[in-house]
């Protein structure tokens, strides 16, 4: 890893700091379980319980624990060795889903990315950061303020647009969100944009009317470009823990989700839920957020995340 990634204030440093609440819970728990004790049925049962408490969920916790015990019964293992084994098993689950969001133009025109999620997950901020990353990748970007119900959301997106140097397509408060999305994609096509990011209103996953409106937005975008939207990304707040599973279940049943972004990892001891999500759904995890800054949303790296999650110091040699 580069010095920019590992140095003070680098991405790995911020990731470790952001996951400190979770890694402290796991690290302290491992120290309590494995101090001067062999790897046996009792310690593995305690490990499984610890992983459930860290929000890996019972199914994933059982899978990881079983894999760690295979061929190692009765062995004396040091704490760092246990952490290394745990990080390895978690990495195996995470690596298949560590897929950065593509900023490349679609064959049929601009890539259309729709951000969805419940209220308060950080959708608008995440979209703004993604737009900044696309600009840094030398893409022509259009932001669309599809949360037409909240003037504050439009203003927030405009601030991000100014920071990233990209235009923001908007309408008056209360305008039809599906119509706005249609017009935004048409404008992006006319102006030769590479990618259009469409924000949407936060909607509780148990509100049928709001979910039907989201389905309408997706349908209408398809009238401009039959292959669009190319990405429907669900923003999840890590502090909700296992409730994130329910949110994925519901949104996935309503629209063809293509990937996930996990936000607010720095505010929770439930960061292990990302492992449960990867294991259960296999959806790409495009990025994780560990802070408020523009650089605190980065493409998801499986091994770096796994090592930070269990509290291993420094990058792997």
Intra-chain end-to-end CA distance of the chain, in Å? 10
Q: What is the pLDDT of residue 8?
A: 47
Maximum distance among all Cα pairs of the chain, rounded to whole angstroms: 68
Q: What is the pLDDT of residue 6?
A: 46
CA 184 to CA 187: how far, in whole Å? 5
Helix ranges, the chain (H): 3-6, 11-18, 20-34, 41-53, 58-69, 79-94, 123-136, 151-164, 177-190, 208-224, 243-254, 273-281, 302-310
Q: What's the CATH code of the domain at 90?
A: 1.20.120.140
Binding positions:
117-124, 199-203, 263-266
Pick the closest to residue 164 from 118, 130, 123 (CA basis): 130
Adjacency order of strands within the sheet including 168-169: 168-169, 141-144, 195-198, 111-116, 231-237, 259-263, 285-289, 297-299
Last residue of one domain, picked from the residues 97, 132, 161:
97
Q: What is the pLDDT of residue 78?
A: 85
Q: What is the pLDDT of residue 9?
A: 58
Residues 184 and 217 in one domain: yes
Last residue of one domain, picked from the residues 62, 97, 132:
97
Query: Is 171 contained in some domain?
Result: yes
Q: For strand 285-289 and strand 297-299, is the pairing parallel, antiparallel, or unpaired?
A: antiparallel
Total domain count, the chain: 2
Q: What is the pLDDT of residue 294?
A: 72
Q: What is the pLDDT of residue 85?
A: 93
Summarize pLDDT for 95-139 with one digit per residue, the tens: 999 999 999 999 999 999 999 999 888 899 899 999 999 999 999
pTM above 0.75, yes or no: yes
Query: Is 264 contained in some domain?
Result: yes
Task: State both tokens at 61.
Answer: 């916790």
3-state DSSP call for residue 141?
Answer: strand
Binding positions for GTP:
117-124, 199-203, 263-266
Residues 40 and 160 in one domain: no
Report residues of the chain scoring pLDDT below 50: 1-4, 6-8, 317
Domain extent, residue 170, equals 111-301
């Amino acid at each position: 890893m580069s010095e920019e990634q590992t140095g003070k204030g680098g991405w790995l440093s911020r990731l470790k700091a952001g996951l400190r609440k979770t890694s402290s819970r796991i690290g302290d728990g491992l120290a309590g379980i494995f101090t001067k004790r062999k790897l046996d049925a009792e310690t593995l049962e305690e490990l499984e319980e610890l992983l459930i408490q860290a929000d890996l969920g019972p199914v994933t916790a059982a899978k990881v624990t079983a894999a760690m015990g295979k061929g190692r019964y009765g062995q004396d293992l040091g704490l760092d060795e246990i952490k290394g084994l745990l990080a390895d098993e978690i990495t195996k689950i995470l690596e298949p889903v560590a897929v950065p969001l593509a900023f490349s133009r679609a064959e049929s025109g601009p890539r259309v990315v729709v951000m969805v999620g419940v209220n308060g997950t950080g959708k608008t901020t995440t979209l703004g950061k993604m737009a900044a990353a696309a600009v840094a990748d030398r893409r022509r970007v259009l932001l669309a303020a599809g949360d037409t119900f909240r003037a504050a959301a439009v203003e927030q997106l405009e601030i991000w647009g100014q920071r990233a140097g990209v235009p923001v397509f908007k309408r008056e408060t209360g305008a039809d969100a599906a119509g706005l999305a249609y017009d935004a994609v048409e404008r992006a096509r006319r102006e030769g944009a590479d990618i259009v990011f469409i924000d949407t209103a936060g909607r509780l996953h148990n509100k049928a009317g709001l979910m039907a409106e989201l389905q309408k937005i997706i349908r209408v975008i398809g009238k401009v470009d039959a292959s669009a939207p190319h990405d429907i990304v669900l923003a999840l707040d890590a502090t909700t823990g296992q409730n994130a599973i329910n949110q994925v279940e519901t949104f996935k049943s309503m629209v063809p989700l293509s990937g996930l972004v996990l936000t607010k990892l720095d505010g929770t001891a439930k960061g292990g839920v990302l492992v449960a999500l990867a294991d259960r759904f296999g959806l790409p995890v495009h990025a994780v957020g560990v802070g408020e800054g523009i650089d605190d949303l980065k493409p998801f790296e499986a091994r770096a995340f796994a090592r930070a999650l269990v509290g291993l110091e420094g990058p792997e040699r």
